[in-house]
Amino acid sequence: MSKTLFDKIWEKHVITGEIGEAQLIYVDLHLIHEVTSPQPFDGLRNTNRRVRRPDLTFATMDHNVSTKDIFNVQDHMSRLQMDTLVKNTKEFGVPLASIGDDKQGIVHVVGPERGLTQPAKLIVCGDSHTATHGAFGAIAFGIGTSEVEHVLATQTIWQVKPKTMGIKVTGKLLKNTYAKDIIMGIIAKYGVSFGVGYAIEFYGETVENLSMEARMTMCNMSIEAGSRTGMVQPDQTTFDYIEGREQAPKDFEAAKNYWLQFYTDDESDFDETLTFDVSNLKPMVTWGTNPGMATPVDQSLPAIKDDNDANANAYEYIGLHPHMKATDINLDYIFIGSCTNSRYEDLEIAANMMKGHHLAPNVTAWIVPGSRAIRNRAIKSGIAKIFEDAGCEWREPGCSACLAMNPDKIPAGKHVASTSNRNFIGRQGAGSRTHLASPAMVAAAGIAGHFVDITVDEFV
């Protein structure tokens, strides 16, 4: 029978149960961070249970990290969550990449970087952006705190199989447009909930030509379309990325031959399909308070239809008005980081844009690598220096200003161009005004002090 990539991986993991009802499925990799793990470990302790497979579990610290002074965590709650993770992982024998450790970083950056994220695996984490790992042709989704406890104790999870949606991406990207623009373009077109109940597979020639970093950016934001799982079929690009990494399979040829079975047989196997052409896609920028409230940078902001229009509330919060040009959005901050866009390739793209320039007056810039390995590599290659010469602050790895759970908060009323994934009210600090965009766009905005169309001659 003809099947999708998702179906093939799913059925390899089912232990019991029928399709249509909750099925017990096996988990190959359980990633942990300090925010959603304290209660689950308490639960184990209170019931005298151990972690069933510490060898299939990996913990890191990211959300609470103080990126300016990594060992100086002032906030009581942050310190407590971090100390608790150290204590719990020690007691239960789970490997931990703690602050300062070479392997530490944002959980969705370090999983792939360590070679833990592999095709055909079933990967979970108590975090909604777990979809990132689907870029490797894995089933990866975020789970709730009680589910984290269940996985720790049993290495399994009860789940109802979602439906599948294929999104075929066609066309050649304009120079200076990126995977971030594709996924933002898709969400702007179809909204923030079209993926609810579906596992999305991105495919087509455009996706095949994307790097692993770019595929991760797309899968990462599947949750912003309402889907818990985004994935891409594994191919030579995937294998090349994994080969040689610390946790890559020892018999790589055998692993590769196994992975090659995992692909969607026929487009008609998807429950739903969409097509998105990128040939004329301009860089995207959000103007509102959800990731769907986005516009191509060369356009004006949308109208307000009536008093009940969500756009009205969004405009009030964000301090902009309909019909103004996206390039007239003035910025106070830029943030380059987060599990969407803090990998080496992202930093390199941003640095190329900034090279030889200086930030606009009154713009503060935080550049936050996704992991210590990326940070070290960027220092070595000179990228860090480019950012510093441009006037940016070069930080330690963590979630940082992606969410206001650490000292990196955007002040109330300030506009920030951000490479992260969510522009909800208060997301980057109470009253902060977020504009999501690609690393190249955010870097160029930092130099200009407002958004600019980087596809025009001056930039390409």
Ligand X SMILES: CC(C)[C@H](C(=O)O)[C@@H](O)C(=O)O
Q: Give me the residues that bind ligand SF4 (CB under 6 A), please.
A: 62-63, 106, 108, 127, 129, 338-339, 399, 402-403, 420-421
Check whether 219 is labelled as a binding-site residue: no
Query: Are 422 and 415 contacting, i.e. CB atoms less than 8 angstroms apart?
Result: no
User: Which helix (H) or strand (E) covers residue 205, if one does?
Assistant: helix 205-208
Q: What are phi and psi of 302, to 5 degrees?
A: -70, 165
What mask, x for binding ligand X by CB under 6 A, covers residues 130 to 169?
A: ------------x---------------------------
**Residue 403 binds ligand X (CB under 6 A):** yes
Choose from ligand X, ligand SF4, none: what does 84 bind? Cβ within 5-8 Å by kind: none
DSSP assigned state of 170:
E
Residue 261 vs residues 4, 150, 264: alpha-carbon distances, Å: 11, 30, 9
- Shortest approach of ligand X to residue 377 CB, angstroms? 24
Calculate the dihedral angle through the C-alpha atoms of 291, 295, 300, 303, rounding to the nearest 10 degrees: -50
- Shortest approach of ligand SF4 to residue 109 CB, angstroms? 8
For ligand X, the closer CB: 142 or 296? 142
Look at the chain and count its residues: 460
For ligand SF4, the closer CB: 56 or 436? 436
Choose from ligand SF4, ligand X, none: what does 282 bind? Cβ within 5-8 Å by kind: none
User: Which helix (H) or strand (E) covers residue 11, if one does?
Assistant: helix 5-13
Coil, helix or strand at residue 294: strand
Residue selected from 7, 28, 34, 127 as contacting ligand X according to rule CB under 6 A: 127
Q: Give which of 348, 389, 341, 344 is closest to 365, Cα–Cα.
A: 389
Query: Which region, judged by CB under 6 A, interacts with ligand X, from 122-130, 161-169, 342-350, 371-379?
Result: 122-130
For ligand SF4, the closer CB: 363 or 399? 399
Check whether 392 is labelled as a binding-site residue: no
**Residue 60 binds ligand X (CB under 6 A):** no
Residues 70, 211: Cα–Cα separation, whole Å: 31
69 burial via Cβ count (<10 Å: 0-12, 13-18, 19+): exposed
Residue selected from 39, 84, 98, 128 as contacting ligand X according to rule CB under 6 A: 128
Check whether 402 is labelled as a binding-site residue: yes
- Shortest approach of ligand SF4 to residue 246 CB, angstroms? 21
Could you count the other beta carbons within 10 Å of the beta carbon of residue 49?
14
Binding residues for ligand X, per CB under 6 A? 35-36, 63, 127-129, 142, 403
